[in-house]
């Protein structure tokens, strides 16, 4: 389920970061994820169609596709940037290494799919249409007072590594921990990240949606 998005990444500018370009020329990856990327490429039918002149993939005499060590760039983590949020303020984002973003997107899509499954007498959540549902519920709540919406400030910043470890099964936590960026670059300096992931990470939205959904179900059962 993994793929490359079109947003800017740790080493590629927004003007050159279209998905196909990342597929052909994306090189950056954190050290912790490097061996996993090698496995992903070896088992990918899409990558196997590339030639041995590709900057990332090397094809040996037997036709086996592996990472070309001299072509892959290990980086410490993401690069901090900002984009417009409203007419007055900006949103802080993290530009992830290309290979990390590739795996993160697959994790996010898997969570998105699993969220659609019925859970605890609910029909699940379809994040592809959740915006429309939430808008209708907000309208209904404003008219009747029977439904409330909650907008948590700094929501993704509050989702620490320890909270993810508490919420997710060990194999899920280990995969997300391996795919995250442990550091971000701000003004040329490295800063260690205590939150699991920020805006720009390919599974942040889905993972925090799952966490908040479970918290909401737990509160509803308690009350």
**DSSP code string of the chain:** -----SS--SSS-GGG--HHHHHHH--EEEGGGHHHHHHHHHT-TTGGGS-TTSSSEEE-TT--EEE-TTT-EEESEEEEEEEESSSS-EEEEEE--HHHHHHHHHHHHHHHHHHTS-BTTB----TTTHHHHHHHHHHHHHHHSS------TTTGGG-BHHHHHHHS-HHHHHHHHHHS-SEEEETTEEEE--BS--BTBTTHHHHHHHHHHHHHHHHHHH-
pLDDT (0 to 100) of residue 53: 44
Q: What is the pLDDT of residues 62-102, one digit of tens each?
A: 666 555 544 668 899 999 888 877 788 888 889 999 999 99
What pLDDT shows up at residue 69?
46
> Using one digit for the tens of pLDDT, what is the confidence trace for 21-33?
887 778 889 999 9
Where does the pLDDT of residue 4 fall: very low under 50, low under 70, confident under 90, or very high at 90 and above? confident
Per cent of the chain over pLDDT 90 is 34
Q: Is the pLDDT of residue 189 over 70?
A: yes
Give residue 141's pLDDT band: very low, low, confident or very high (50, 70, 90).
Answer: very high
The band of 145, judged by pLDDT with boundaries at 50, 70 and 90, is: very high
| pLDDT at residue 60 greater than cutoff 70 | no
pLDDT top residue among 222 and 52: 222
* pLDDT score recorded for residue 51: 42
- Interval 33-46 mean pLDDT: 77
Output the pLDDT for position 66. Answer: 58
Considering the chain, what percentage of its residues have pLDDT values greater than 70?
A: 87
């Amino acid at each position: 389920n993994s793929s490359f998005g079109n947003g800017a990444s740790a080493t590629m500018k927004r003007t050159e970061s279209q998905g196909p370009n990342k597929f052909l020329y994306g090189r950056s990856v954190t050290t912790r994820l490097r061996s996993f990327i090698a496995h992903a490429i070896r088992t990918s039918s899409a990558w196997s169609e590339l030639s041995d002149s590709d900057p990332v993939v090397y094809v040996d005499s037997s036709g086996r596709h592996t990472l070309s060590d001299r072509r892959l760039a290990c980086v410490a983590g993401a690069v901090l940037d900002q984009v417009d949020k409203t007419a007055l303020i900006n949103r802080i984002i993290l530009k992830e290494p290309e290979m990390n973003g590739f795996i993160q997107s697959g994790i996010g899509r898997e969570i998105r799919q699993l969220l659609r499954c019925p859970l605890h007498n609910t029909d699940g959540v379809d994040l592809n249409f959740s915006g429309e549902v939430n808008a209708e519920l907000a309208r209904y709540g404003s008219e009747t007072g029977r439904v409330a919406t909650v907008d948590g400030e700094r929501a993704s910043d509050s989702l620490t590594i320890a909270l993810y470890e508490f919420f997710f099964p060990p194999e899920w936590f280990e995969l997300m921990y391996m795919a995250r960026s442990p550091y971000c670059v701000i003004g040329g300096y490295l800063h260690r990240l205590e939150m699991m992931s920020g805006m720009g990470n390919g599974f942040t939205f889905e993972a925090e949606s799952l966490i908040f959904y479970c918290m909401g179900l737990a509160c509803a059962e308690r009350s």
